Structure 1
């Protein structure tokens, strides 16, 4: 199955986002939920644990998501930022095929039968 230590990490805002992404993944990927907010100290802790991994940020296309994205851009500039179309506003509301396309463009393998 999947190896225990994943080298790719996706950061999302909530558990609904996490479940949506998990439903289309075909490769091992650790998904971390920020639950919408993240203190600077918690962010620093998180950054320390991710220094040797491929990190992707996928947050909502709203003010809270952009604020969180801004924090990651400052504190973890190596992370790759993935963007949903603004018309969907939230990752959880984005159609599976839209999310699959975004993930595929980031070289994250998805299950094409899942969408």
Structure 2
């Protein structure tokens, strides 16, 4: 059983997560987090720690940001968009058990006092912005690093705030370049 409690968005997410791993899950019910749910998350956060595992879409990112502000030591797991899509739907509930386990194996903690290791120049130098393939490359690199997909500005933010080292970044780029 996973020590931390997973915070996900909906009831179907619980089903998918339980197929992948034995864990306690609290659902937010979308962005309308009520007082009772926030109290449950607070208790889990204080007693066991939480892992935020939201859908890789705009709504999921807004929920993640909201929770991260309230629970700064929370851990974060990201399922790559392509692994969370099925039947024209995107979400944790669409991911395979393997994709969920992989995301949970790459958990990161957000550092609220960000390092300034990476900049837009790093993205530009590595064709992660400004090319037709940039979005797909960021998506794959985010998967390799365990920080998920993001636009260029958000990607630099995640590199600097989720503890990615220069060495990890360069190793992931090597893997990405070998795949191309």
In which range does the TM-score fall when normalised by the shorter chain? Answer: 0.7 to 0.9
Deviation at 1:103, TM superposition (A): 2.1
Which structure shows the higher helix fraction? Answer: 2
Bigger relative CO (Cα 8 Å, ≥ 6 apart): 1
The TM-score normalised by the length of structure 2 is 0.49
Deviation at 1:10, TM superposition (A): 0.4
RMSD: 2.1
Q: Aligned pair count?
A: 100
Residue number among 58, 67, 89 corresponding to 1:72 in the alignment: 67
- Aligned partner of 1:102 in structure 2 is 103
Deviation at 1:19, TM superposition (A): 0.5
In structure 1, stretches of 5+ residues that fail to align are: 107-115
Deviation at 1:24, TM superposition (A): 1.9
Q: Which ranges of 4 or more aligned residues in structure 1 deviate by more than 6 Å?
A: none
- Aligned partner of 1:32 in structure 2 is 26
Residue number among 9, 12, 17 corresponding to 1:16 in the alignment: 12
For the 8 Å contact 1:12–1:33, the answer to whether it is kept is yes
Structure index of larger Rg = 2
SS at match of 1:11: strand
Q: What CA distance in whole angstroms lies between the structure 2 residues aligned with 1:75 and 1:95?
A: 29
| Range with bigger deviation, 40-49 or 29-38 | 40-49
